[in-house]
Amino acid sequence: MEIVKTWTGRTACVLQAALRLTNEQFAEHLGISTRTVVRWHSSPDLAPRTEMQQLLDMTFEKAGDAVRRRFGMLLRPTIEAEPPQAQAQALRVAIAVVQRGAEVLLVCRRGDDDLSWQFPAGMCKPGATVASVAVQETHAETGVHCAVREELGTRIHPKTRVLASYVLCDYLAGEATNLDTVENVDVTWVPLTNLTRFIPADRIYPPILSALEAA
């Protein structure tokens, strides 16, 4: 039987393939968010944090013999597989910039090595629109209801290499609450004047700053 000493994005995705699960199904199977699975695809050499290592260990141990044999067969050829960057660029993420008066909504995400403040976001499934995903994921993550005001544009994210589409949203209702405790540490409303203290200006998609300044 194959033994994984340290799980990486690549070996986690091989386990996903051995289980024959989609990104969404694999995330549900593990009890994590889809964006974590997306990150494994886009960062194959990244080693997940300790609790995720344990979760993958348990998932592998509970898998049947057929899955473990398939895992061993799939593990070796992945080195010659399609470059991960090309795979990642096929993925689209909807990012919601939710404004409430002079404030904007942020979530503090758990990274593999640190924490980072980001806008609510979610992966777009085939056939789903950016607007609907942005609204649904914002509510799923934070409990906040919002409505899309305008689309701000799309780019290949410089860090994750996924196709990132941004929308400016208006707050409708709901108390900002951390509903995704696996991925996020906190949720908060940040004054627009303090936004770059949470996210450095050079990491923010320029049309976001322009739209917020105009508003």
Is the CB of residue 43 less than 8 Å from the CB of residue 160? yes
In angstroms, the CA 16 to CA 39 distance is 13
**Per-residue tokens: 198:** 């949470």
- Name the 3-class secondary structure at 135: helix
DSSP letter for each residue of 177-190? ----TTTEEEEEEE
Is the CB of residue 106 less than 8 Å from the CB of residue 119? yes
Is the CB of residue 67 less than 8 Å from the CB of residue 18? yes
Beta-bridge mates of residue 100: 103
Q: What are the structural domains, with CATH classification, of the chain?
A: 9-84 (no CATH), 89-214 (3.90.79.10)
pLDDT tens string, the chain, 215 residues long: the values are 456 788 988 899 889 988 988 888 898 999 888 888 888 887 777 888 888 888 999 999 888 888 888 888 877 654 444 444 444 435 789 999 999 999 999 999 887 567 889 999 998 888 889 999 999 999 999 999 999 999 999 988 877 778 899 999 999 999 999 998 888 999 999 999 999 999 999 889 999 999 988 76
Which value, to the nearest 10 degrees, does the dihedral of the CA atoms of residues 106, 110, 111, 115 take? 60
What pLDDT was estimated at residue 40? 86
In angstroms, the CA 124 to CA 132 distance is 9
Place of tokens 């995705």: 13
What pLDDT was estimated at residue 89? 39
Is the CB of residue 120 less than 8 Å from the CB of residue 96? yes
Phi, psi of 194 (to 5 degrees): -105, 5
